[in-house]
Structure 1
Amino acid sequence: MNAKVEIYTMSMIWNPDTDQVLLMNRPGRKGFPGYIAPGGKVDFPESIVDGAIREVREETGLHVKQILYKGLDEFCDPEQGLRYMVFNYLVTSYEGELLTDPPEGELKWVSLQKALELPMQDWFAERFPRFFDAGTFERSVIWEKSSGQTLQETFKTYRDEARGMQIE
């Protein structure tokens, strides 16, 4: 079967000085309503990290100075022949001013400790702490859209690669 592959990014923007993250309150008409980190589809043939940087600029107005790869969320639906990949990043340095009328939803700086109290999709709440965990992660889910059922899930974390990979 020829699978269709869709590649997306998600970038958590973190201000280490204030320990706040920038989230957007995405309206229901845009899909995935509630608070979420900026991100979107990677345009062919741009690199994945360039797509992440572009999405941050388009959705927030900020220009990324430092970005760290955090991990991959992958969802496969055999019925549709679809592999949906989301590359996750942590932005730790940026410059510029926030957009006054952002295209994807209202932007809000929130303390890291209070962020999970905001209304958000369950899958984003689950992913949120992974942006701040040491190392990187990889999650793969095989599911059926028609039944909404997860058929298989694999989750790995990779830590301290400099001294030898440890898989958990």
Structure 2
Amino acid sequence: MGRAELAIFTNMCLIENEKGQILVQDRVNPNWPGLTFPGGHIEKEESFHDAVIREVEEETGLRISQPVLCGSKQFQTEADERYVVLFYHTTRFTGDVTSSDEGEVFWIDPHELENYILADGFLDMYKIFKDAQLSECYYDRKEMYLF
């Protein structure tokens, strides 16, 4: 039995400004709508680091630097691929916030999250971003686990 499996790699980045606000994206994708952090797919032969910088710039207009890997999320797709989301955090960026076709992006205070429609599972993911004792959000076919 081989250990290789098909996998899809993506990223998501929590960007925090000097006021303690977080940058969120109100996704319009019907497959996963609602408020979340910007991010996207990692291209073949692209480093994880470069991919998160590229995706954030494409979706927000901001050029981030020094993104720090702070956790992950994973689950199996209907096609039995492992879907991996790498979580990053940064407070370093330049540029002006500009929304994209992915959805409107804007700054909010973290306590305001409860006032919005959030993407499915986003609050569980947010725990990983904010709690240094947690590092992974794992969904098996029946349940979700935080490690």
Regarding TM over 0.5, the answer is yes
Taking the TM superposition and a 5 Å limit, the aligned residue runs for 1:39-54 are: 39-54=39-54
Please say which structure displays the higher CA radius of gyration: 1
Assess, with a 3 A threshold, how the Cα gap between structure 1 residues 129 and 8 changes in structure 2: closer, same or farther. Answer: same
Residue aligning to 2:85: 86
Residue aligning to 2:114: 116
Determine if the alignment matches structure 1 residue 12 to structure 2 residue 3.
no
1:134 Cα deviation after fit = 2.1
CA–CA distance in 2 between the matches of 1:26 and 1:122? 11
CA RMSD of aligned residues (A): 2.0
1:102 Cα deviation after fit = 1.5
Secondary structure at the counterpart of residue 113 of structure 1: helix
Higher relative contact order (CA 8 A, sep 6+): 2
1:141 Cα deviation after fit = 2.3
**TM-score normalised per structure 2:** 0.87
Residue aligning to 1:129: 127
Secondary structure at the counterpart of residue 139 of structure 1: strand
Q: Which runs of 5+ in 2 are unaligned?
A: none
More strand as a share of residues: 1
Residue aligning to 2:70: 70
Assess, with a 3 A threshold, how the Cα gap between structure 1 residues 70 and 136 changes in structure 2: closer, same or farther. Answer: farther
Identity %: 30
Letter in 2 for 1:57: E
Equivalent residues of 2:32, 2:120 under 8 A apart: no
Counterpart of 2:146 (choices 148, 152, 155) is 155
1:135 Cα deviation after fit = 5.1
